[in-house]
Amino acid sequence: MNSGGVRNLGALAFACCLAVVAMSTLAGLAAAQSDPNRFNRLMKPPAERNSPPPTDGIHDPENEGTYLLQTPLEAFSPMPKSKSGNYVSWNKAIDENAIAPRNNLGEQAMPPIVLDLNIVREVKGSMPDVVYPHKQHTQWLDCANCHPAIFIPQKGANQISMASILLGEKCGVCHGKVAFPVSECRRCHSRPKQQTAVN
């Protein structure tokens, strides 16, 4: 046998090793799936995040067009990561110029009108107060998207509750649908309550 044959054999052995590793990994995966007490059984494992359209469960794998669509992983590859939603940080992506979403349809690109104004909402209950940053919101949205239909632009005029947000109203019009999910409590409830003097 010449050296080429040996190399070929080596490559084949390498391929076999890979296949064995793959099979054992998969066996492990299958076992993990069937274990009733597996860790985080209701949570989506990292391998299932950002699935490509043909295997994501809502695109029809029998449809030819499904295979032409851009996959989320490819689209998100230049973007900074996060731990929820799309698993990317949309605001960091803009701040770091990882993406440059257009602000208008015309030939001449117009920059957004950004308003840097924080609104603090003192909340009932034990949760920290909510700090609402206009800055991050106006990078994406126009004033008229929220005011006055969703939020009356006047201090104290808006009744907001977590119940209404969970039902898709107020902040819930976007958060919990396309903006970061409502499970990220501390991203809004971020300012510790001011201690009141106790006599």
Partner 1 sequence: MTMSKHRVMQFSAKFLASVLLLTAIAVFSYYEAAKAEYGDVVMNEFSDEAGMRPVVFPHWFHRIRFRCKVCHGDLGFRFEAGGNGINMLKIIDGEYCGACHDGDVAWSIENCDLCHSGVPNTPTHVHHSTVQKLVAPLPSGTADNSAADDEPGETE
Distance of closest approach, residue 103 Cβ to partner 1, in angstroms: 5
Closest CA to 189 of 122, 117, 129: 129
CA-CA distance, 156 to 159, in Å (whole number)? 8
Distance of closest approach, residue 166 Cβ to partner 1, in angstroms: 6
Which residue number, 160 or 174, has a Cβ lying nearer to partner 1? 174
Which residue number, 132 or 140, has a Cβ lying nearer to partner 1? 140
CA-CA distance, 188 to 159, in Å (whole number)? 16
Which residue number, 51 or 191, has a Cβ lying nearer to partner 1? 51
Which residue number, 20 or 117, has a Cβ lying nearer to partner 1? 20
Distance of closest approach, residue 136 Cβ to partner 1, in angstroms: 12
The rounded radius of gyration (Å) of the Cα atoms in the chain is: 25
- Does residue 99 contact residue 88 with C-beta atoms inside 8 Å? no
Cα→Cα distances 25→18, 33, 44, 59, 109, Å: 10, 12, 18, 27, 49
Distance of closest approach, residue 88 Cβ to partner 1, in angstroms: 8
